[in-house]
Every structure is written in C-alpha cells, then in structure tokens.
Amino acid sequence: MTNQRISRTSNGQPGIFYGYFIVAAAFCSIFVLFAVYYAFGVFFKPLLEEFGWTRAMTSGAFSLSALLMGVLGIVMGGLNDRFGPRVVMTLCGILIGLGYILMSQIRTIWHLYLFYGIFVGAGMSASYIPLMSTVARWFKEKRNVMSGVVVAGIGIGALIGPPAATWLISVYNWRISYLILGVIVSVVIVISAQFLKRDPEQMGVEAYGGSGGEQEEVSPDIVALSLGEAIRTLQFWMVFGIFFSIGFFVFAIFVHTVPHAIEMGISAKSAANILATIGGVSIFGKVLMGRAADKIGIGKTYLISFILMSAALFWTIPANVAWMLYLFAVLFGFSYGGCAVLQSPLVAELFGLRAHGLIFGVVFLGESIGGAISPILTGYLFDVMESYRWAFILCALFSSIGIIFCAILIPKRKT
C-alpha cells in the first residue's frame, strides 16, 4: 500500500507531506545556482576586453570550478549523509555567494582563479548531489517525478540566467552585476537551506510511498553493488566514459556559445538568448524523455538522447548564421535535457540502490573532469586557430564515442 497523500507529524497530527517542501527548496536552490553558473559565458567578453587575457586563460577558471565541483561533490555527499543538507547547503550559499561578490573586485588573473575557480567551484560541489540524494530519501514513490522537478530547475536557470546577466551588465557593468548576483545567491540558498531535512525519520514520518519501514524493493534483475564492487565492472567505466563525454561537450557549449555567436557578428543579447534556448528547451527534454524511459527503458532512451546531441554538435560545424545556431540550441537542449534527467536512474539500473549516492558521485566525477578540460581546451584552440571550428569537431567526436558506450550499455547486466 502506498503512503497517504498527507503525512503525520511526530505527534500524530495530519498535515501536508513535508517532502514537497524539500522539493520546493531544492528546486529554488538548483534554479538560482545554475542560473548564475551558466551565465559565465555572458561575462566572458567583458573580462577579455578589460584585462586582455586569452580565452584559454579565462576559460581555465571555469575549468577549475568544474573540477572542484566533481572532486568535492563526493566529499559533500558524505557530509550530507552525516550532517544533513541544511548544514551543507548553508555552506554552499556562503561559499558561492562570497565567490561571486569577490568577483566584482578582481584585478589580476589569480583573483579570477581563486574567487571563481575555487570559491564558486567549492560552493557548487555542495549543491547537485546532496540535493538529489535528499530528494531520493524523501520519496520512494514518485521519486523520478520529484527528481525531475528539481532537475528542471537547471534548465529554467539556464533559460533565465544568461539574459538576466546580459541585462544587468548593460544597465550597470559586469562588476556590479557580479555583486548583485552574489547577494541574491547567498540570500536564496541560505534561506532555502533552512527548510531542508536529511530524511523523513527526522520528522517522525515515512518517505512518500513508504510501507511501514519495510526495505525498498529492488528489481530482481539488478544486483545492488557497493562502490568497490561497481568499480570492478566494465559497466562502471563505460558510464564514467559516457559522463566524461557529456561533461566535455556540454561545458564547452555553455562557456563558449555566447562568445562564438558574438564572433559571428550576432549581438550580445541574441547570443545570450541562444544559450537561454538550450536551457529552456532542455525542460521539455527532461519531461518527455523521462516519460519515454518508462515506456522503452532507460538505456534506449539515453541512447536516443545521445544520438540527438551528437547530431546537434555536428550541425555546429557548418553553422554560420543565427538561425542555424538557434536550431542547434533547440536540438541540443532537448537531447541534453533527456540525458540529464536519466543520469541518476541509469546508475540505479546498472548498480542498484545499495550505494547509489556514492557511486553516482564517483561517476559524476567523470563529467566534472570532462567539463574541466573542455572549456580551457576550446579557448586554447580558438586562440591558436582564431576559430571554434576545430573545437566543435572535437566535441562531436567525443559525442560519437559516447554513443558507442551507450549502445553497449543497453543490454541489462546479468545477475
């Protein structure tokens, strides 16, 4: 029997299930964090114009933040298990807010690497994995739906963040804009964190869909593995490779799409809208591909999403006018959304739920490593070639490798 649509508090009084407040707080946090994080490309040209740094040098700060986000994400996941999301997300809000506020004061390149690379990267590490792990604890039934709602915050953030940052820069300047964004991030994240609880037991209730404390059932064709056991499987390293591939081309796209469009003669506002289109369309990808996974399976849906992403990346190679970039944004955004919402379920299907959070955190490190390499490499290739063409070719090639790994992963693992 599924859980009631109302919960019971520790004193037995009925009320609204608190898990919905968890989802709302997690959504607000994800939305604000990624709205500002994915606006980095909007600040790219103003930084280049004021300081005269190369694109590789400027991209390196984002690369450092992406690497720290993955490495420290594993640590933050452990801290979340021990101390709970309220403490972890409060730390996140302080670190990342401080990083953006200090960005308004940078004068040299090491300031950029310290304030954005380290402060922002460390703050972002305390966000995605702890929040998704917390939502999973509160929902046994509707877990995928509620996780999808939270992940949709990334897409909405990417839709709103770049145009909003562009507007702020046009009205004020990039320094004041970073100051404003830093204050907003700190306030929203710290306040949202106070509503977070690690698990239902802290409030004397069951998870949504719970059954009186019984162990959660696992599909009979899935063996629940520990991290050590998972690492010794070929599937683990294929998933790691898939995530690396995603990180490589996704982070390159989010950092360099705006400067690439501007180089083509497109206005800064339209360039930001192209990036925003990726985020907006990704919301539909999350919803539709998430439903498709229920019908045809996670593996096949993930493969379809990857094929569409690869097609979009190959399309960027000849794209030389605005409408071609907008078409790319629609196709890439939809397929990127599909992959994003299925990452956690894919890990669960292959390795079970015994150590899901830890395994997910480790394979997600692959995405962070790819995301750390690609922005700085893409910037370097532009500095040398004076064109993004070869960088986009490299992204398309990595997506092709990801397709091969996805195709191999479709058959279910033998038990």
Give the closest residue to 17 by CA, choosing from 110, 135, 160: 135
**CA-CA distance, 289 to 148, in Å (whole number)?**
11
**CA-CA distance, 144 to 291, in Å (whole number)?**
10
Residues 296-310 have a mean pLDDT of 86
Which residue has better confidence, 199 or 259? 259
**CA-CA distance, 29 to 184, in Å (whole number)?**
11
- All residues at 6 or more sequence positions from 72 whose CB lies less than 8 Å from its CB, including other chains: 121, 122, 125, 126
- All residues at 6 or more sequence positions from 110 whose CB lies less than 8 Å from its CB, including other chains: none
Q: pLDDT by residue (tens digit) across 364-378?
A: 888 888 888 888 888
Complete domains list, the chain, with CATH: 7-212 (1.20.1250.20), 218-415 (1.20.1250.20)
Q: Looking at the chain, how many residues does it have?
A: 415
Torsion (CA) 4, 10, 12, 15 in degrees, nearest 10: -50
Q: Give, as one character, the DSSP assignment of residue 207.
A: P
pTM here is 0.75
The pLDDT value recorded for residue 32 is 92
Average model confidence (pLDDT) across the chain: 82
